[in-house]
Chain A
Amino acid sequence: MQPTCHAFKENAHAALNDATLQRAISKLGFQAARAAAVARLPEFEALRDRGRDIKNHVLENLDFYLERFEAKVRERGGEVHWCRTPAEAREAVLAICRGVGARTVTKGKSMIGEEIAINDYLAANGITPIETDFGEYIIQLRHEPPSHIIAPAIHLTKDQVSDTFLESHRQYGKTRRLAEPGEMLAEAREILREKFIAADVGITGANFLVAETGSSFIVTNEGNGDLTQTLTKAHIVLATPEKLVPTLEDATTLLRLLARSATGQEMSVYTTMSTGPRRPDDLDGPAAYHVVILDNGRTALLGTEFQDILRCIKCAACLNHCPVYNTIGGHAYGWVYPGPMGSVLTPAILGVEEAGDLPNATTLCGRCESVCPMRIPLPKMLRHWREREYEKGLSPPRYRAGLRVWAWFAKRPGLYHLAARFGMSVLGALGRRKGRFHRLPFAGGWTSGRDMPAPEGPTFHALWAARGDGAGA
């Protein structure tokens, strides 16, 4: 998808004024679900520490684990494709599809697929991609990007889905407008079942790659990822290097964190580990197993102050708990990854010039970090992006000037106190009667939505000095 991060403010404005979107995102129940699941597992906090340690260990030894993973994949008869850029990844996928004469490709949900815009590329090359995750299927029909990394259609209401199905399913002879999610799901299931069976290639993402066995894990609640990979001639796994874990036991530890953090389930319905293509005596399964490892800026984060974002397991807990995400929804962020993790990762991939608003449009409230299963210090990294922007002079000149003036005074206590006394006595006098200001010069940002309470008048330091107590230095 074409990034619109540079238009964040406009996007946010549209989102805030979109009554349908606001209605849809006011109902999110992820927070309560996660809290309940965490309460049921006394070891959860300790597991978060372990998860963080496992991933840190992997990152320190990433080259070793990747080579080991590749060796194991090849041993089982699969192939690993190393791709530095989205273009290389697209080409690798296309080559595999062409190799089996693919006409249609079914897809499990893959954020990396979005990142490299694989659907448009395949379509442009005469191959039809079919999203099979229910939410992804819906938004594919609507030509919309996902707004959440695990619940892509969360921004839609039931009515919107009804309308979409009515329009898009006519070609299958479906003419009834459906009202209930159950009916809609049944209709989509029926239609997609044909597509699963007819598909030549299945593309999935990967939640984890296991170095010990050369395997990939996906988790779904629907089973679409399984039908995608099992019924086709080739299974393509789209992954990035940091998805590696060393052993099955390590994967298990992270799996204990994943579903609980995402949806509050103890386990997703289908947690599937795939290891290579079908064996000679298997009765089903893909004849080929390909793992595409896309870099696209990931290794550039190693050894930097942003390395910790590579621990992310894409559970979306940070999105679900972010007060800004819960106000503007996912599309406003303008690309594949919204919310706190998106605000750290997107500038790394697209550049801080394109995505500069994202790390700024946050109060750094810290709720994200408090729920991140991998203990990623998200506010710290958001602040680091702000430092990078400041160094590059990217912050709007008005704010830079204002802050420099503030800092100038703050470093000169004598002048500061004097200016404060003067300023606050004027403001205090002006505001005494009403107690607040409806409008204030230079404070349009504030007073557009709020009154400004009037200061009491004298400053604390002035009053304290007048009190005559031993005031110190």
Chain B
Amino acid sequence: MSAREDMLAQMRRALGRGVLDEAKKAELEARLAAHPRNLVPKRAQLDHPAQVELFIEMAERAAATTVRVASLAEVPTAVAEFLAAQNLPAAIRLAPDPGLQAMPWRDRPLLKVETGIAQPGDRASVSPAFAGVAETGTLMMVSGPTSPTTLNFLPENHIVVLRADQIVGPFEDAWDRLRAARRGADFPRAINFITGPSRSADIEQQLVMGAHGPRRLHIILVAEDSNAQAKA
């Protein structure tokens, strides 16, 4: 008997039954398919503008920094300003995301923009969020050909572009968005829910930022939505 069969048999024995009957299995499958929500905290059940405010508040409480811009066109400037304010070299590793690549980087000719996965020596990355969860100020980043995971972790400074219309209230809304976006297709390999920059309190519980992941997380919140971008 394989370990697998052995373990399953032991489980059933311990539970005092055999294999579940078809009816029961169907019931459990149905629950999986329906994936019902459990209790959703009221905190983020607000109108959208309030959710945006809550997102900012919670993200900042987790030590992320945020800046608001009116449109995607202003993102390159916001990136350059962040780097300058931190005394960082004017260079970024940009995610190969069409939306990000289409932004007017030529407006900042002194900003060196390289695209792709993070390389050793990259000090700042810019990647696109899939969603922002207002409940806890959490960014939802999904892996894919236009959003490599390493950009979220390797460089010391992580800049995330988040559109206001990507902000949802509770995590459950974020899951629904992902399922809708992936209908028929595969789930991403990695979903990173990111709440603030990397940290550790392992030495005498003193909080220190920048453990292995980024020391700084900067969120550029774009008020305009993607439809407006397309019109521009």
Contacts and interface: CB of A to CB of B under 8 A. Distances in A.
A binds B: yes
Interface of A: 24, 27-29, 41-43, 46-47, 50, 54, 60-68, 76, 82-84, 88, 132-135, 138, 151-154, 156-158, 161, 181-182, 184-186, 189, 192-193, 196-197, 211-213, 215, 221-224, 226-227, 229-231, 241, 246-250, 252-253, 255-256, 263, 265-279, 281-285, 293, 295, 299-304
Nearest to A81: B3
Given A47-B39, A66-B8, A76-B186, A132 B212 contact: yes
5 contacts: A42-B41, A154-B202, A275-B187, A283-B117, A285-B143
A64 B191 CA distance: 25
Contacts of B197: 269
Interface in B189-223: 189-206, 208, 210-214
Contacts of B43: 41
Contacts of B166: none
Interface stretch (B78-86, B99-107, B149-157): B149-157
Residue from B10, B16, B38 having most chain A Cβ neighbours under 10 A? B38
A313 B113 CA distance: 43
B150 A223 contact: no
A223 B187 contact: no
What is the predominant secondary structure among interface residues of chain B facing chain A?
loop
A50 B39 CA distance: 8
B231 interface: no
B89 interface: no
A111 to B, nearest CB: 16
Contacts of B208: 181-182, 185
A256 B16 CA distance: 33
Nearest to A62: B11
> Which 4 A-B residue pairs are closest in the complex by CB-CB distance?
A223-B213, A222-B211, A302-B14, A135-B202
Contact of A268 (B37, B135, B195): B195
B58 interface: yes
A25 B194 CA distance: 30
B8 to A, nearest CB: 5
A250 B3 CA distance: 28
Interface in B170-190: 171-172, 175, 186-190
Given A252-B171, A275-B187, 5 more contacts: A193-B120, A222-B211, A283-B96, A295-B7, A299-B14
Contacts of A60: 15
Nearest to B20: A64
Given A63-B11, A134-B200, A275-B187, A266 B58 contact: yes
B193 to A, nearest CB: 4
Given A151-B202, A249-B36, A285-B190, A299 B10 contact: yes
Contact of A221 (B171, B175, B199, B204): B199
A247 B35 contact: yes
A273 B191 CA distance: 5
A212 B35 contact: yes
A63 B12 contact: yes
Nearest to A135: B202
Given A82-B4, A276-B189, A282-B145, A161 B203 contact: yes
